[in-house]
Amino acid sequence: MKVNLSKIHKFYNGVQILKNVNLTIQDNDRIGLIGNNGCGKSTLLRILTGRELPDTTDETEGIISIGCEIGFLEQSGTQGGKGDTQGENITRTTDTVFEYCKEVFSPLLNTFEEMRVLEKNLEGENIRKYADLSAYFETNDGYNIDVKIKTVLNGMGFPPETYTRNVESFSGGEQTRLAIAKLLLKAPELLILDEPTNHLDFKTIAWLEDYLKTYKGALLIVSHDRYFLDRLCTSICEIENAELTRYKGNYSAFVHLKEENVTRKIKEYEAQQEQIAKMEEYIVKNITRASTSKSAKSRVKALERMDYLEKPVTYHKSAKMSFEYNIEPPLEVLKVQDLAVRVGEKTLVDDVDFELRRGERLAIIGENGTGKSTLLKLITKRLPVYKGRVKWAENVKIAYYEQENTALNPHHTIFEEIHSKFPLMNDVEIRSLLGQVRITGENVFKKVGVISGGERAKVRFAVMLLEKGNVLILDEPTNHLDLSTKEVLEKALTEYTGTVIFVSHDRYLVNKIATKIIELTDTSTEYKGNFDFYLKTKDNIAPVKDVITENKENPQKQNVKSNKEQRKIAAETRTQIKKLESDIAELEEKSAQLQIDITLPEVFNDYKLLEEKCKLIEEYKNLLDINLEKLLNLT
């Protein structure tokens, strides 16, 4: 057992944030910690890492047992652990990137320096000391320190040219990535990550997921990235109404288990309420009768002893969305040919080609700055087309969700905003509509300009419900939504029978909704499937750009040729990887044997022989570095 928290309570200004929280973390646990903003997740992490104490009323409460080293990455990028309540502010260091990461291995590097000193005088007691230090260095994989650092830095998006830059010269997001890299190299027994994917692109997130899958310690992850939780977690802990409930499985399993759990609690609560009502009715009727008074009094005592169940939290207050349309579109909805995506005078992507049929759901993905939002504006004629063609079918009606919702009038109240767009609706109809997206009571009279991003998103969705578009175009629709509203939106989009085009960094949404994906880099690449299919296809053989525009005379022949070339390249790569893996295994075996040799009396008593073997060890180390770097570049 790594960690045990028992009966944890916490109050702020008289409000209970955590109530009777119990949590045990075992070796190799992969726990996702979720809950709405302000529910107490960060408070629990601060208590767990010793930054804050729980509130207690007696010695049986607030028991915290820590039996391991903890590494903690907060959202700000500060990292710390057990015995380090302040963490480390990486913006204050003048180290280079490589020096900053190398600090993790200070004990091993100091050992290596001692070995170098002893090599100058390998006599007497120094021989035995050298052998001990060498064995310690080898056991802790000291010869691969540089390789480890380069592997993690490369995975976290830091190429070799950044290694000599000062850490303080990087942006906040880059420093957060560096903090993650250093924690991974430290490899604490319990690694706690608070929103680790916030500043990461798709490629880096995928690498981090793969790295954490084989992590030897336990993981506790706070994240709104449901795809990340799905790929890594074996249990989910949710904080709701100050209480923590643990569910087995990943996030998708949690969604189903929670619904079952809530249904069960409702049934238990309703059964108890029915039992209470019957007992109270019996008491009222029989307490004054001599013949039944004793029986009635026994029921009174039973009620006094009863543990009353609290009314369970239900999903009844979740938003409700159902996108409908009243104009049936044709089968072929949209055709885009040779479209150039430009910002000012700069062309971001040239020759974008794709077609959409009724009912298809297209996700447009890519890194920031690749032109995703611009592409949406081009196909909806919000920006002029510089080059190429966008052809919509007849009877197409578009409902458009803009990322920042600038189309909403900030001076209107929410109620006035709906009324201005649909003046024929009466007050009851408007309130009913807003109720569907959970904007109720006096909240409908808030000014649009002062409401949160999540509330603005709900107002825009309310408008879209009335627009009856048979094509929905959405730019980052889940950016400001809480988890429950995201799930409602996903359900609505899944049930929608029209066509959907959306831009999103939410991989869970893309995976659940998309039937087709276009990735924008300096070109556009189409994948016919969801996000899982996209990852699988990219991992095997990255598909080339649609070659129809490159060879219009014989596209079928060109496709066959491209596929053959890809298979040839992939086969050559696999051969190279297999050869490198074999060479690395051989070098590691030879190096391990040499490490054993230098501890033998006949070797460490012979200075020249010992020196020869130490030189071989260094040569093998250099060869290992070279081969591991080659392997890293190929994979």
On whether both 508 and 383 belong to a single domain, the answer is yes
Flag whether 322 is in a domain. Answer: no
- What contacts 24+ positions apart, CB below 8 Å, involve 551-560? none
Model confidence at 632, in pLDDT bands (50, 70, 90)?
Answer: low
pLDDT for res 397: 95
Flag whether 173 is in a domain. Answer: yes
Q: 345 or 533, which is more confident?
A: 533
Does the pLDDT value for residue 76 go beyond 70? no
Does the pLDDT value for residue 131 go beyond 70? yes
Flag whether 112 is in a domain. Answer: no
* Domain with 284 in it: 269-317
Does the pLDDT value for residue 551 go beyond 70? no
Counting the structural domains of the chain, the total is: 4
Does the pLDDT value for residue 77 go beyond 60? no
Q: 586 or 210, which is more confident?
A: 210
Q: Over the stretch 207-232, which tens digit does the pLDDT of each residue have?
A: 999 999 999 999 999 998 999 999 99
Quick one: 191 exposed, middle or buried, by C-beta within 10 A (0-12, 13-18, 19+)? buried
Does the pLDDT value for residue 596 go beyond 80? no
On whether both 40 and 175 belong to a single domain, the answer is yes
pLDDT for res 550: 37
Q: Which two tokens stand for residue 338?
A: 């040779």
pLDDT for res 88: 46
Distance separating alpha carbons of residues 177 and 196, to the nearest angstrom: 8
Does the pLDDT value for residue 567 go beyond 70? no
pLDDT for res 90: 55
Flag whether 427 is in a domain. Answer: yes
What is the pLDDT averaged over residues 522-528? 91
Sheet holding 389-392, edge to edge: 346-357, 332-343, 389-392
pLDDT for res 61: 86
Q: Over the stretch 391-420, which tens digit does the pLDDT of each residue have?
A: 999 999 999 998 877 788 889 999 999 999
Alpha helices in 516-554 (DSSP H): 531-540
On whether both 493 and 528 belong to a single domain, the answer is yes
pLDDT for res 558: 46
Tell me how far CA of residue 318 lies from CA of 258, 313, 482, 485, 486, in angstroms.
14, 11, 11, 7, 10
Does the pLDDT value for residue 274 go beyond 50? yes
pLDDT for res 36: 80
On whether both 497 and 611 belong to a single domain, the answer is no
On whether both 200 and 336 belong to a single domain, the answer is no
Flag whether 117 is in a domain. Answer: no
- What contacts 24+ positions apart, CB below 8 Å, involve 55-63? 55/9, 55/10, 55/11, 56/9, 57/9, 60/7, 61/6, 61/7, 61/8, 61/9, 62/6, 62/7, 62/8, 62/9, 63/4, 63/5, 63/6, 63/7
On whether both 389 and 518 belong to a single domain, the answer is yes
Flag whether 295 is in a domain. Answer: yes
CATH number, domain of 8, equals 3.40.50.300
On whether both 488 and 594 belong to a single domain, the answer is no
Buried b (16+ CB within 10 A) or exposed e, 65-95: ebebbbbbbbeebbbbbbeeeebbebeebee
Most confidently modeled range among 342-356, 478-492, 572-586: 342-356
CA 147 to chain centroid: 26
Q: 557 or 24, which is more confident?
A: 24
Flag whether 127 is in a domain. Answer: no
pLDDT for res 597: 77
Distance separating alpha carbons of residues 150 and 98, to the nearest angstrom: 8
- The backbone torsions φ and ψ at residue 544, rounded to the nearest 5 degrees and listed phi first, read -80, 165
In total, the chain counts a number of residues equal to 635
Q: Which of 497, 520, 549 is the last residue of a domain?
A: 549
- Identity of the amino acid at 96: T
Does the pLDDT value for residue 559 go beyond 50? no
Q: Which of 215, 249, 283 is the last residue of a domain?
A: 249
pLDDT for res 611: 72
On whether both 542 and 563 belong to a single domain, the answer is no
pLDDT for res 81: 47
Residue 80 belongs to what H/E stretch? strand 79-81
pLDDT for res 149: 94
Tell me how far CA of residue 403 lies from CA of 187, 253, 477, in angstroms.
38, 30, 7
pLDDT for res 238: 94
Model confidence at 86, in pLDDT bands (50, 70, 90)?
Answer: very low
Flag whether 402 is in a domain. Answer: yes
Q: Over the stretch 88-101, which tens digit does the pLDDT of each residue have?
A: 445 456 789 999 99
Q: Which two tokens stand for residue 77?
A: 């990028």
- Kindly report the CA angle at 460 between 454 and 465, in degrees rounded to 5? 125
Q: Over the stretch 443-497, which tens digit does the pLDDT of each residue have?
A: 899 998 888 888 889 999 999 999 999 999 999 999 888 888 888 899 999 999 9
Please state, as a whole number, how many other Cβ atoms lie within 10 Å of the Cβ of residue 479. 14
On whether both 515 and 436 belong to a single domain, the answer is yes
On whether both 509 and 622 belong to a single domain, the answer is no
Q: Please, what is the average pLDDT of the chain? A: 85
Distance separating alpha carbons of residues 383 and 342, to the nearest angstrom: 10
Q: Which of 498, 527, 549 is the last residue of a domain?
A: 549
On whether both 565 and 543 belong to a single domain, the answer is no
Quick one: 248 exposed, middle or buried, by C-beta within 10 A (0-12, 13-18, 19+)? exposed
On whether both 510 and 385 belong to a single domain, the answer is yes
Model confidence at 553, in pLDDT bands (50, 70, 90)?
Answer: very low
| Least-confidence region, from 157-171, 527-541, 588-602 | 588-602
Tell me 543's DSSP state.
Answer: P
